[in-house]
Copies of this chain bind each other. A is one copy, B any other.
C-alpha cells in the first residue's frame, strides 16, 4: 500500500491487506509472478445474494492463514503475489462485464502474469476462461460445480451465472466434477453432447488419475465453491448436500497439478454473509493452495 519510502512501514505496523497480507517485497507488481484480480460482481444472481462481497472476504481472511504450506513444505508467496484493485462493475449488463474481465485478464496474461480471478458470481469465469483460451488454445477446463450451468439463456441473458459452463464449453472442452443439481434440459444436453461430468459419488468411483486422464496438458481451473458439500461450504448461493469434501478436492488438485500445467484459475461464488467466516478462510486457503500447486510445477 505504501511504496513511497517516506512512509513509515516498520514492524510497528501490520502488513497491507492484499492477498496474503504480504509486505511490499512480495506483493509489488513488478516482481510478482501472480496477480489476483478481485471481481465483486453478482448482478445476475437469481437466488441468494452477496457474492459481490466474496473477493473482499477472501482477501481479508487470507491474512488469517499461515503462509507456509505444511502439506507441500514450501512458501508459495515467495514467488510474489500482487493484488489488483477491485474491478469496477459494469452495470450496463453482464455481456459488457464479461468483456471487461476478459480484457483485463488478457492484459495480465500478456504481461506474463499467472492470473487468479476471485468472484463474485460464477459468470466472471467466462471472461477469465476466454482470455486464457486465447493464449493457450489447446487448454481444457476443469470445472468444480454443483450445478450444470448449461442453460443457453436464463432470465433473458446469455451471460447469466446459470449459463457459465455452457459459454465456456463453447470455447474449450470442459470436464466437470461435483455436479448434483440440474434441470432436465441441461442434463439431457450434457448427455446428448457427450460431456464429461461427474457427480461426487461418480468421481469417487473414478478416482483422480482417471479424471486427470481426460484433461489436456494445459488446464484452466474454474471453481464454483458450491462444488463442496454444504457442510463444508454453506456461504454460496446454491448450497447443496452430497458434495465434495476438502481432502478429495485437495487430492484431485494435487493430481492435476502433478500431471498437467495449471495456467490460471478462478474461485467464485463465496457469498460471505450466508455462512460462517470459516468459509472465507477455506476459500482463501484453497486459493493459496492452488497457487502453490500451480507454481510448484
Taking beta carbons and an 8 Å cutoff, which residues of A are in contact with B? Answer: 1-4, 6-9, 11-18, 28-30, 40, 42-44, 46-50, 52-53, 56, 60, 63-68, 70-71, 75, 82-96, 100, 103-104, 107-108, 147, 154-157, 159-160, 179-184, 187, 199, 201, 229-232, 234-242, 246-247, 250, 273-279, 281-282, 285
Contact = CB atoms under 8 A, between A and B. Distances in A.
A104 B14 CA distance: 13
Given A96-B156, A246-B229, A274-B278, A87 B241 contact: no
A80 to B, nearest CB: 13
Given A3-B3, A91-B43, A240 B281 contact: yes
Given A49-B50, A199-B71, A247-B242, A85 B231 contact: no
A47 B29 contact: no
A67 B12 contact: no
Nearest to A5: B29
Nearest to A43: B43
A9 B183 CA distance: 22
B2 A85 contact: yes
A247 B14 contact: no
A277 B90 contact: no
A212 to B, nearest CB: 21
A278 B271 CA distance: 12
Given A66-B147, A86-B13, A184-B75, A285 B240 contact: yes
Contact of A250 (B155, B236, B238, B242): B242
Nearest to A285: B241
Nearest to A188: B68
Integer count of this chain's copies in the complex: 6
A126 to B, nearest CB: 14
Given A156-B92, A231-B232, A278-B234, A9 B85 contact: yes
A19 to B, nearest CB: 12
B281 A66 contact: no
Contacts of A234: 276-279
A273 B275 contact: no
A91 B94 contact: yes
A101 B218 CA distance: 46
Contacts of A156: 90-92, 96
Given A155-B91, A276-B276, A281-B239, A53 B44 contact: no
Given A49-B49, A100-B12, A184 B68 contact: yes
11 contacts: A2-B29, A3-B3, A7-B84, A12-B87, A17-B17, A17-B56, A48-B277, A75-B184, A230-B282, A241-B246, A274-B278
A60 to B, nearest CB: 8
A249 to B, nearest CB: 9
A240 to B, nearest CB: 7
